[in-house]
Amino acid sequence: MNLEFKRKLPTLQEIKAMYPIDDELAARKKETDKTLENIFTGKDDRLVLVIGPCSADREDAVLDYISRLRRVQEQVQDKIVIVPRIYTNKPRTTGDGYKGMLHQPDPHAGENMLKGLIAIRKLHIKALQQTGFSCADEMLYPENHLYLSDVLSYVAVGARSVENQFHRLTASGLDIPVGMKNPTSGDLKVMMNSIRAAQHPHTFVYSGWEVNSKGNPLAHAILRGSVDRYGQTIPNYHYEDLQNVYNMFAEGGFENPAVIVDTNHSNSAKKFDQQPRIAKEILHSAMQSNDIRGLVKGLMIESYIEDGAQSCDGGVYGKSITDPCLGWEKTEKLIYELAELR
């Protein structure tokens, strides 16, 4: 094999023993888990906002950002449930570029996944301690979920991972909402198959064990738009798109039909400043159809302190070093507008 084995990483038990959470933090996470379960099963009509930076690049700016979200959450809690995005590992189309805090806890230094594992656990714990938020992260490496399983309340499986059997089976063993994105091709049947797989029980190999999963009834769709063979982006957030997905859920006999709509990526053609318009259109669609209102459980919004994006060497505090994000002033205004529309 053409591999260099650099170091053996700590086990999940070792990492969790080094950086444990106390009973109070565990109870906070459990409370968020129950709230989200109620929303995804239709017992709670509030809107979920999975919102935050494209990638969590530095601890201080991320904690600053989600502290601001906490203050807004208190004002809209009767209409909206905020789940901050703290995405600590990033899929890259070609494998190049910043792969997230797991790989590079310091974006200006080389890759060190031992330091990265520690950094991402510490960040999620600090978020829970300082703001009361148990957050969302992307499942890039399925086995790494074990290092964060006691602090996360939401997981997304990305467009490039959703066809992977290991991601689907791991999702079936989680007891929190797992969003399965449509692939970049836009093939919704692939997405629906991934949800079906995640909702079913399975036997598979995980972290050196033969395991049985019970199936995850909270597995659901994330619509993120697509790219055609000519490289043109095709959105899938319009009224007709949502009605079509509603019909696919109904015909397939799924548990708890649910959609989160990603307002960036191919839905906005990565024009981050279009996210407010897209978000409001989705809520207007829900006003026109009870089916769509019941189906769309929330929105995924890429947002940070400053508008836009920069290179890793940009040096602007709170500005994305991956995809461009909506800045704080526009974000705060949008959340209040969405609460009014709900």
Q: What is the pLDDT of residues 160-217, one digit of tens each?
A: 999 999 999 999 999 999 999 999 999 999 999 999 999 999 999 999 999 999 999 9
**Alpha-carbon span 247 to 243, nearest angstrom:** 6
Per the CB < 8 A criterion, the answer to whether 102 and 144 are in contact is yes
Average pLDDT over residues 118-137: 98
Q: Which DSSP state fits 37?
A: H
**Alpha-carbon span 186 to 192, nearest angstrom:** 11
- Give the count of beta carbons closer than 10 Å to the beta carbon of residue 109: 9
pLDDT of residue 58 exceeding 90 = yes
Percentage of the chain beyond pLDDT 70 is: 100
pLDDT of res. 93: 72
**Alpha-carbon span 126 to 89, nearest angstrom:** 18
Q: How many CA atoms lie within 13 A of 265 on its CB side?
A: 26
Q: What contacts 24+ positions apart, CB below 8 Å, involve 147-152?
A: 147/12, 147/15, 147/16, 147/117, 147/120, 147/121, 148/120, 148/121, 148/124, 149/174, 150/16, 150/21, 150/26, 150/29, 151/21, 151/25, 151/29, 151/121, 151/124, 151/125, 151/127, 152/29, 152/124, 152/176
CA 30 vs CA 175, 193, 216, 329, 333: distances in Å: 11, 29, 17, 31, 29
pLDDT of residue 90 exceeding 90 = no
Q: Burial letters for 173-183: b for 16+ Cβ neighbours within 10 Å, e otherwise? A: bbebbbbbbbb
**Alpha-carbon span 99 to 104, nearest angstrom:** 7
pLDDT of residue 94 exceeding 90 = no
Q: Which residues lie closer than 8 Å to 258 by C-beta, 6 or more apart?
A: 40, 177, 218, 220, 221, 295, 297
Q: 258 burial class (0-12, 13-18, 19+ CB within 10 angstroms)?
A: buried
Token pair 């949800």 in the structure block, residue: 195
What tokens does 78 get? 């009767």
Whole-number mean pLDDT of the chain? 96
Per the CB < 8 A criterion, the answer to whether 287 and 342 are in contact is no
* Top CATH class, 18-341: alpha beta
Average pLDDT over residues 5-28: 95
Residues β-bridged to residue 262: 300
**Cα angle at 301 between 249 and 85, to 5 degrees?**
95
Per the CB < 8 A criterion, the answer to whether 19 and 122 are in contact is yes
pLDDT of res. 174: 98
